[in-house]
Structure 1
Amino acid sequence: MANGTLLYAQSGGVTAVINATASGVIAHARSRKVNVLAARNGILGALREELVDTTKESAASIAALAHTPGGAFGSCRYKLKSLEADRAKYERLLEVFKAHDVRYFLYNGGNDSADTAWKVSQLAAEFDYPLTCIGVPKTIDNDLAVTDTCPGFGSAAKYTAVSVREAALDVAAMAETSTRVFVYEAMGRHAGWLAAAAGLAGATPEEAPQVILFPERAYDEAAFLARVRKVVEKVGWCVVVASEGIRDAQGRFVADAGGGKDAFGHTQLGGVASHLAGRVKDELGYKVHWTVPDYLQRSARHLASRTDWEQALAVGKAAVEYALKGMNAVMPAIVRTSPAPYRWKIEPVPLHKVANHEKTMPAGFIRKDGFGITAKAREYLQPLIRGEAPLPWGRDGLPRYVTLKNVAVKKKLPAWKG
């Protein structure tokens, strides 16, 4: 039996398959006779010493996590700054780890979470505390560096492509006397991966979505309106997919919501679809409908990709193996070993190569006119949305999800004042 306890925490926006990773972590740790604690609401739970004893959960409940969306233990958007600026908080984490004999810390999140896990590993080394820190990948934005793709993206991409294809059939049916233009807003602040995934809904420039707006390309309103007009005149209707993070030539967000900054220092966005719809209506006179799927993109477990689900389980299992082998400050990355047939494997990469690096869409993935994806992008994206992940359904017609007991561990330290 390995020495010490493993602490698992979820970070940032959850995905349709992040609990599959949690299931993979806990089930594999149990098979290796390692007890797992989980932090309530991510890193905040670790700071507050609000920890959950996963040994109180049945094997059936842990298995059911693999098909349950959301974040089973709660997540949070809370960024720790540098070791110098937030040293007291990092030292508090070590105090909590020592109090509960935590020797393995697995932080399941994106770029900022990888950075936190890396910094915690550095502080533990400074204090000569035996702690192995592993960053576990998760994001629907697909913007993590080094890894070929990221668990969470494939399912959100599948939801996006399916939703756009279905909505396009609706628009086509109503275009003669009603809606001519439909605008779909996809998540993606700086990287247009989800918007690109919508391109899988159609095979030619005439098929929906006929217009995709990427944050990697400056938004040109005149060119956009001209493109929409051309499509409507040729096809009779037009579906537009826009990333929430599109900017104008001066670098200003088109959909700056004016809500200040979030916990990660990001501009609060919102409303790019409604803005574009208004401009199309005012300038072109077409009847327009628009939608903001928002949380639906990342919570749609009923439409999860099997590829994505299998990868989410695999990185959880690999993270435990890396931890038990003492492979400190690494992340299990997905490596594409063959494009056709699609094959992949998991390999460790150093956290410092992931932390605070952002992977945007390659120029070769965006069509020359800027309004669609290339064959190269399609080849990359298509395998990631393949297959249907297993999901049990109840007699009431709804999926059978699980809610954990989340029994709290008794606190041993003075309350954290924050």
Structure 2
Amino acid sequence: MPPRNAFYAQSGGVTSVINASACGVIETARQHPDQIGHVYAGRNGIIGALREDMIDTGQESAEAIAALRYTPAGAFGSCRYKLKGLEENRLEYERLIEVFAAHDIGYFFYNGGGDSQDTALKVSQLGERMGYPITCVGIPKTVDNDLPVTDCCPGFGTTAKYVAVSTLEAGLDVRSMAESSTKVFVLEVMGRHAGWIAAAAGLAADHSGDPPHVILLPEVAFDRPAFLERVRDSVDRFGYCVIVVSEGLRDANGGFIADGGSQDAFGHTQLGGVGPVIAQMCKDELGLKYHCAVADYLQRAARHIGSKTDVDQAYAVGRAAVEMAIEGRNAIMPTIVRKADDPYQWEIGAAPLSDVANIERKLPAEYITEDGLGITDAARRYLRPLIQGEDYPPYRDGLPTYITLKNVSVPRLLGTPFDI
């Protein structure tokens, strides 16, 4: 029998290294032509499968696919689209199986966070119920670093490096101007429920008094008086204060400090910008001149400062996903297993999707200082290896050279459209 085809899709917020995982998937699949035929990619994630709008990666040269390793964002398009439960909307899952059957897809690789791993799990379950043989493997990705089981999540290391470097550089800037200008600098970073990214800013501090002077985490209820006292003390002692705050900072009742009042496609609260709220508080309560910045997409797109550890791990989980699939391992996700801290050593492991889907890993208590406003040495030991090494993309005329694929469409075989 001829080899069956594979479907690969990117999901959720993209990262600077998700394409490195795509590179690992496609290059490894091409090394196994007897087991895997075509590799199709979903245009704009799982939406591409539902709409039967797929991309033939076989139309891309080996050089183009290799260039994905150095290119940020989602080369095939991603989406924020959460499939409902099997019993809530079975039609969506049946549509996926219909499209997969029409194109003889026997392998499903879904590259994303907890919601994506849940989708891959449900597709494997439905395939079994419907008697359609399909091997489903999740591929970890999230800058939030909040997937369980795996030591870290591809995408986080480079984001952590960007935030730590930005904190270091901005801190030097503020310190040099603090005598007659800005006293407080606030950097808002991603992290809805888990403070891993904000915690990484703590790597910028080598000595006591180095910025960041305050780290505000979602895991710690915001204590306004304690916070203001710390800011006042930092300005008195050092002449300035650098604050890094997670977007998901909460009050003592569990409510977001900055709630935008709406929800995204996954049902998550849209956050309204906690950085300006914190900065204005420093002005109103302490009379301090401030400057505020929001890292936003810059922190997850910063491939120019990529962590080599992060890039290597992103590629490795993509490669491992294919190897696991052709071994017949279903409803599984490759993981990163830490073997040692210094020097950092890691290997690829595996976890059932049922142990990963829809489970958030938060910053553990032992990584947070007793006052709740900083990180411990244990956190530094965990974080430091993940930002190690440089893996610069090629440059031309002073700018990184990134690939844009042709993304040739796979001809549709089904005549029935599907509305989402």
TM-score for the superposition, normalised by structure 1: 0.98
Residue by residue over 1:63-83, the C-alpha shift from the partner in whole angstroms, topping out at 9 and shown as x without a partner, is: 001000010000000001110
Partner of 2:87: 84
Confirm or deny that 1:117 pairs with 2:120: yes
Shift of 1:326: 1.0
Partner of 2:417: 415
1:231-270 alignment, distance < 5 Å: 231-258=234-261, 260-270=262-272
Residue by residue over 1:332-363, the C-alpha shift from the partner in whole angstroms, topping out at 9 and shown as x without a partner, is: 00000111221000011100000011100000
Is contact 1:9–1:43 with CA below 8 Å preserved after alignment?
yes
Partner of 1:24: 24
Shift of 1:270: 2.5
Work out the CA distance in 1 between the residues paired with 2:218 and 2:130. Answer: 43
Secondary structure of the structure 1 residue equivalent to 2:295: coil
Is contact 2:368–2:379 with CA below 8 Å preserved after alignment?
yes
Partner of 2:314: 312
Which one of the candidate residues 384, 388, 391 is aligned to 2:390?
388
Q: Write the letter of the residue equivalent to 1:404.
A: L
1:179-194 alignment, distance < 5 Å: 179-194=182-197
Is contact 2:188–2:295 with CA below 8 Å preserved after alignment?
yes
1:197-212 alignment, distance < 5 Å: 197-212=200-215
Moved more, 135-144 or 26-35: 26-35
Partner of 1:165: 168
Q: Write the letter of the residue equivalent to 1:310.
A: D
Work out the CA distance in 1 between the residues paired with 2:174 and 2:260. Answer: 28
Partner of 2:303: 301
Secondary structure of the structure 1 residue equivalent to 2:390: coil
Partner of 2:60: 57
Partner of 2:13: 13
Q: Write the letter of the residue equivalent to 1:347.
A: G
Q: Write the letter of the residue equivalent to 1:177.
A: S
Work out the CA distance in 2 between the residues paired with 1:203 and 1:250. Answer: 34
Work out the CA distance in 1 between the residues paired with 2:363 and 2:419. Answer: 42
Q: Write the letter of the residue equivalent to 2:323.
A: E
Work out the CA distance in 2 between the residues paired with 1:374 and 1:400. Answer: 38
Work out the CA distance in 2 between the residues paired with 1:345 and 1:18. Answer: 19
1:194-233 alignment, distance < 5 Å: 194-233=197-236
Work out the CA distance in 2 between the residues paired with 1:149 and 1:264. Answer: 23
Is contact 1:2–1:324 with CA below 8 Å preserved after alignment?
no
Q: Write the letter of the residue equivalent to 1:245.
A: G
Q: Write the letter of the residue equivalent to 1:113.
A: S
Work out the CA distance in 2 between the residues paired with 1:79 and 1:274. Answer: 31
Work out the CA distance in 1 between the residues paired with 2:213 and 2:247. Answer: 17
Confirm or deny that 1:104 pairs with 2:138: no
Secondary structure of the structure 2 residue equivalent to 1:146: coil
Which one of the candidate residues 149, 153, 161 is aligned to 2:152?
149
Work out the CA distance in 2 between the residues paired with 1:241 and 1:350. Answer: 35
Q: Write the letter of the residue equivalent to 1:336.
A: R
Residue by residue over 1:376-410, the C-alpha shift from the partner in whole angstroms, topping out at 9 and shown as x without a partner, is: 0000000000011141000x210010000000001
Shift of 1:222: 1.1
RMSD: 0.9
Work out the CA distance in 2 between the residues paired with 1:9 and 1:326. Answer: 20
Secondary structure of the structure 1 residue equivalent to 2:256: coil
Q: Write the letter of the residue equivalent to 2:25.
A: V
Work out the CA distance in 2 between the residues paired with 1:47 and 1:324. Answer: 24
Is contact 2:42–2:49 with CA below 8 Å preserved after alignment?
yes
Residue by residue over 1:30-62, the C-alpha shift from the partner in whole angstroms, topping out at 9 and shown as x without a partner, is: 011132000000011110000000000000000
Work out the CA distance in 1 between the residues paired with 2:404 and 2:2. Answer: 29
Secondary structure of the structure 2 residue equivalent to 1:66: helix
Work out the CA distance in 2 between the residues paired with 1:203 and 1:246. Answer: 25
Shift of 1:205: 4.3
Partner of 1:406: 407
Shift of 1:2: 6.9
Q: Write the letter of the residue equivalent to 2:394.
A: P
Partner of 2:369: 367
Is contact 1:108–1:135 with CA below 8 Å preserved after alignment?
yes
Is contact 1:205–1:372 with CA below 8 Å preserved after alignment?
no
Residue by residue over 1:235-278, the C-alpha shift from the partner in whole angstroms, topping out at 9 and shown as x without a partner, is: 000000000001000111001122x1111111000211100111
Partner of 1:283: 285
**Structure 2: tracts of 5 or more residues without a match:** none
Is contact 2:305–2:392 with CA below 8 Å preserved after alignment?
no
Secondary structure of the structure 1 residue equivalent to 2:399: coil
Q: Write the letter of the residue equivalent to 1:308.
A: D
Confirm or deny that 1:342 pairs with 2:323: no
Work out the CA distance in 2 between the residues paired with 1:36 and 1:417. Answer: 25
Is contact 2:304–2:392 with CA below 8 Å preserved after alignment?
no
Is contact 1:140–1:151 with CA below 8 Å preserved after alignment?
yes
Identity of aligned residues (%): 61
Secondary structure of the structure 2 residue equivalent to 1:242: strand
Is contact 1:65–1:402 with CA below 8 Å preserved after alignment?
yes
Shift of 1:165: 0.2
